[in-house]
Structure 1
């Protein structure tokens, strides 16, 4: 017998967070999410002030066999002039009946909330957070803030009637296997930009609050035409920035500005998943915190997390300067591999640019949709 039970912060939340650890315990590529980070995401994130979420656990013969979250993102619906709902945090044993029960529970909750058009997913909570179902590239661990799932998830989702909305591509470079043209031309490009009073600099961590406010404005402008984009509120961006500040390397956080106005930025992050993978069940205590503190120098990969320029400043060479500077620092610091991701499959301009510097499209994630 399959039973789907709503989860509350006071009852079932720990089981909801921990279920993937048991499901993937024998998978060599699985990386556990930090428990404290997942708990705060599900209970304290500013998202909850303006939106709604209900998590569910599926039980079969008294044992937890799946989970899902139904998500009503009011900001998405207002920005995109629609009435959609989302599913996220989906994990399940290889059992279609269990998956069906979870999807039905999520759909029913969204209908009760007044959703009348589509259900889209997986997202946790929007495309600003980890999203997409892994559909290609199952032979390596996910990089920081990427999703991961078993291949059979594709059938579980598609058998429920979900169809592709769009694919998201992650790109990989190994060692020095990249075209360093942007590095070789870096000085020339920077000199050209200076003639327009545009400079590239590192983020100023001593003035982080003001820097974050400037980057927030660029973030909400540079990606506003992307499929599924939702602008972040001031509080949501500050929440994200506060988390990223704990792990960012200022040499990989670059700001492009003209006469003091920020017009673009690039951010690459050390792949802390290489450490998180060794932290049992995502618990920092009692020993996980020491792995986190003492293994930072062992990280060998970076993820180019965000790189954007606002309208009116594109195709001037800013993007090439941001990429060139990141590649230069990647080489100087001795990293062994890098990921850029993700990019929308229909973003021809950026995909061609990445392919031109020998990026390998090694992973693909899919957003699905279904009429409710």
Structure 2
């Protein structure tokens, strides 16, 4: 018999976070999330999402054994910005059993329906500003940092439960030696032309990090605001994310474009810290995980291009090409063999063309599903 219970205690929260470690114990591509990061993300008062959103995690049991998990998410800012009554689910994991998955989905749907939602969308943890999407193609290697991973059978669990496609998210592979050199070759000329128009491109200033975050946040909330499912990040949410990223940030991969001192674009690449996390047992930094993290960071040779955006009035002026050129240059100088550019909405023609034009190829796909529950 399957029982689904609310997560209300610290011990249940630990079970909730640890369940995937057991589920994927024999999967060589599974990368454990850091326990402390997941705990804080799911704890009201720790993560700023909880100031405007509601989250209820659930665990599924067969007897005393955990066989699945899910979190129902109500994102007040999303619904206000998009004038919708959407509900979300995230942190879904289940054994290969349609009945377990159905029990979890039904429970999340009932909780969201009770809160006034008429649609359930996911997986998102907690919005498209965090990790999201079900991996549907490209199961042959570990995920890169801040990207999801799941077994192929999840696709059937979702579709058997009545979920249908909302949109697909694309991840591109960029091999350092195969990427087209054109952005790099024209970068100097483009930068000179931009400077004549009062636009400069520079590395992020780590000594003035807090001020840089303010400028970048404004661009993020404006440059992506027409994307499907977008919700602006609050000041506290963006600062929380920036604080986490600062721990692994390489300023050579973080570029800022300014027009007369105003930030009008930025690009962000981060070393693929999952190359280290995959070796940290159950996501625990102590007692030995912290040493693996500190020593392993220097050996990372791949990266993820996590964001590249320019305010609309400044697009197609050459800023994007300069960002790509700088990333290519620095990746080669540092001996990086590859990068993943992710994620890109399948309908974002401009970004998809740009990546294809520099010899990027789609090698993974993620899907966000939806279902009417009203």
Pair in the same fold by TM > 0.5: yes
Pairing partner for 1:104 from 90, 103, 106: 106
User: Structure 1 CA distance, aligned partners of 2:6 and 2:93?
Assistant: 15
Normalising by structure 2, report the TM-score.
Answer: 0.98
Classify 1:358/1:278 alpha carbon distance in 2 versus 1 (closer, same or farther; 3 Å).
same
SS in 2 for 1:185: helix
User: Structure 2 CA distance, aligned partners of 1:105 and 1:188?
Assistant: 58
User: Structure 1 CA distance, aligned partners of 2:59 and 2:135?
Assistant: 22
Does the alignment pair 1:206 with 2:207? yes
Does the alignment pair 1:371 with 2:372? yes
User: Structure 1 CA distance, aligned partners of 2:352 and 2:127?
Assistant: 22
> 1:191 corresponds to which residue?
192
> 2:13 corresponds to which residue?
13
> 1:353 corresponds to which residue?
354
SS in 1 for 2:42: helix
Following superposition of structure 1 onto structure 2, how do residues 137-152 of structure 1 map, counting pairs within 5 Å? 137-152=138-153
Runs of 4+, deviation exceeding 3 Å: none
Per-residue Cα deviation, 1:101-123 (whole angstroms, up to 9, x for no partner)? 000000011011111x2100000
Q: Unpaired runs of 5+ in structure 2?
A: none
Cα offset for 1:195?
A: 1.4
Per-residue Cα deviation, 1:242-272 (whole angstroms, up to 9, x for no partner)? 0001110011110000110000000000000
SS in 1 for 2:124: coil
2:176 and 2:328 in contact (8 A); partners too: no
> 1:256 corresponds to which residue?
257
Q: Unpaired runs of 5+ in structure 1?
A: none
CA RMSD for the aligned pairs?
0.7
Cα offset for 1:9?
A: 4.8
Cα offset for 1:8?
A: 2.0
User: Structure 2 CA distance, aligned partners of 1:304 and 1:50?
Assistant: 29
> 1:241 corresponds to which residue?
242
Does the alignment pair 1:276 with 2:315? no
> 1:26 corresponds to which residue?
26
Following superposition of structure 1 onto structure 2, how do residues 1-372 of structure 1 map, counting pairs within 5 Å? 1-43=1-43, 44-115=46-117, 117-372=118-373
User: Structure 1 CA distance, aligned partners of 2:142 and 2:176?
Assistant: 17
Cα offset for 1:234?
A: 0.3
Q: How many residues align?
A: 371
Cα offset for 1:10?
A: 2.9
User: Structure 2 CA distance, aligned partners of 1:71 and 1:306?
Assistant: 25
SS in 1 for 2:189: helix
User: Structure 2 CA distance, aligned partners of 1:251 and 1:174?
Assistant: 18
Cα offset for 1:353?
A: 0.8
User: Structure 2 CA distance, aligned partners of 1:236 and 1:153?
Assistant: 30
User: Structure 1 CA distance, aligned partners of 2:49 and 2:59?
Assistant: 21
Normalising by structure 1, report the TM-score.
Answer: 0.99
SS in 2 for 1:295: helix
Cα offset for 1:11?
A: 4.2
Per-residue Cα deviation, 1:265-303 (whole angstroms, up to 9, x for no partner)? 000000000000000000000000000001111101010
User: Structure 2 CA distance, aligned partners of 1:280 and 1:91?
Assistant: 19
SS in 1 for 2:100: helix
